[in-house]
Amino acid sequence: MNYPALFVQLLPEGLLVITALLLLGVAVATEAKTKRPLAIDVTVAISALGIAVACAALYYCPFRPESGTSLLVMDPLARVFKAVVLMLGLLAVLMPPARHEIAQPGEFHALLLFALTGLLLAVGTDHLLFLFVALELASLSLYLLAGFSRTAKAAEASLKYFLFGGVSAAFFLFGLSLLYGFCHTLTLPAMAAALDAGPLPPFAVAGLLMVVVGLGFKLAAAPFHYWAPDVYQGAPATSVGLIAAASKAAGVVVVVRLLLVGFEAAAGSAVWGGMKPGWALWLGVLSAVSMVFGNVLALAQTSVRRLLAYSAVANTGYVLVALAANGATSAAAALFYVVVYGLATFGALAITAAVERDRGDDSMHSFAGLVHRSPLQAVALLVFLTSLAGVPPLAGFVGKFAMFGAAMAESTSQGIPGLTWLVGLAAIMSAISLYYYLMVLKQAFVREAADSAPVAMPASHRLAVLVPAVLLVALGLFPAVLLSPLTQALLATLRGL
């Protein structure tokens, strides 16, 4: 085992941990000396600096896929998505919670950095037990972040998140134990070799199904989504942004790496007329249920936060359409879309948080007259919601077109209908989603506000809105800037380069 290479590969995560410990030390020392918590502007600055240094360390981190173990890998896919997770984490830091929400900002941002550390470790490992530990590090931090404001809603959100997360972790770990009983290994390449040697016995199939159920919770796929609406509505906006963007992006990478690298031989098929048992069929069913549940329930929402939660469920369904095709091109398109979705949802949550602080709630009526009270936020909201709806020429449209087109192309190559049934359902559900996004935009651009007082927004919060909006427009016009590197990275990872 090459220990120096392992320590070098852990440099970004190590820097995040050091920054978190520094924050905790400074926060405790400041409160002991001044009897007041550390200023939130200071914690934001320290956290942002730590993440920026971790990004730089990732850039200079040597590319060594074979460091003597599968615990840590620095393949192209891990490198790209560690950068994506760090970028989304930096945006979350730049959107600070309201002062009345968080009593100890130092501890809050330290937990945020620990959550990012777990997500970074999860996207860069081929060892399933290490993956479980990394996901639990991120999850336990997110449970605490969800209830950090200590309000009744936040406590309920954190408790539901914890309970559902505990059950999903049990499913995931028990599924791993069954797979280990068949493969006698916990590394993905070795599991793939064991699967090629013969068909899966029933207990191993049950283990793989349990693993998929555990990951379905991480992605908020229906029917494992019941925690999402309460967490989106009750948790601090910064926590929700991290859960909605960075956590979901890491979750999709984990699913792609797990299923396409380790269990490709157990995929089965979800194509119409040729369905075979396997994870592709399970993902196809989860996709259909998620799209229908998410979009139909979003129609009845008056809270924008809960609307975005059900939108998250629906968008998970869109991503699973591409993954159910079991192809490298469609999986790369899914990875592209989850980045785009994360940017759009994070931006919409940032504007919702600003309106909520100004008006006192997150109902649609609170957005009335936003174009007059804050034209910048109104235009940015238009970009975010129309991108989520898949309106050209924004990145959301490009991502959906790439996913659905690749899924159709890879599943109909043998002259059968393929995933037409799933892609057709996705197109219908995307059209339905346009209605509830337009309901929010109608309030912002058409309805008159009770008063014309501008919506205040700190400079860092404004940056957290502008950056995603600009990136969504740029990626819509030039999608190859991200889509091509993602495709190349995934192909290289699948080839073991």
Q: 394-445, pLDDT tens digit by residue?
A: 999 999 999 999 988 877 765 567 788 899 999 999 999 999 999 999 998 9
Residue 331: HSE in the Cβ half-sphere, 13 Å Cα cutoff? 25
Exposed/middle/buried for 145, CB within 10 Å: 0-12, 13-18, 19+? buried
Give the model's pLDDT for residue 246: 92
pTM of the model: 0.94
Give the model's pLDDT for residue 416: 64
Residue at 21 is within a domain = no
Instruction: Report CA-CA distances (Å) from 123 to 77, 116, 120.
Output: 8, 11, 6
Residue at 313 is within a domain = yes
Instruction: Report CA-CA distances (Å) from 309 to 12, 99, 234, 343.
Output: 30, 24, 11, 15
Give the model's pLDDT for residue 496: 64
Residues 6+ away with beta carbon under 8 Å from 100: none
Distance between CA atoms of residues 257 and 264, nearest Å = 10
Exposed/middle/buried for 436, CB within 10 Å: 0-12, 13-18, 19+? buried
Exposed/middle/buried for 483, CB within 10 Å: 0-12, 13-18, 19+? buried
Instruction: Name the token pair of 162.
Output: 């914890």
Residue at 24 is within a domain = no
Tokens 């530990």, residue located: 133
Range of the domain at 417: 300-497
Contact 137, 118 (CB under 8 A): yes
Distance between CA atoms of residues 478 and 472, nearest Å = 10
Q: Where are the alpha helices (DSSP H) in 299-419?
A: 304-324, 328-359, 370-373, 375-389, 395-411
Q: Which residues of the chain have pLDDT under 70?
A: 1-3, 5, 62-70, 98-99, 197-198, 413-416, 496-497
Residue at 49 is within a domain = no
Give the model's pLDDT for residue 70: 67
Give the model's pLDDT for residue 68: 47
Give the model's pLDDT for residue 1: 57
The one-letter amino acid code at 211 reads V
Residue at 322 is within a domain = yes
In this structure, the number of other CB atoms found within 10 A of the CB of residue 372 comes to: 14
Distance between CA atoms of residues 137 and 20, nearest Å = 14
- Structural domain count of the chain: 1
Mean pLDDT estimate for the chain: 88
Tokens 């995307």, residue located: 430
Instruction: Name the token pair of 11.
Output: 């440099």
Instruction: Report CA-CA distances (Å) from 112 to 44, 54, 304, 462.
Output: 11, 14, 24, 20
Residue at 117 is within a domain = no
Residue at 347 is within a domain = yes
Residue at 112 is within a domain = no
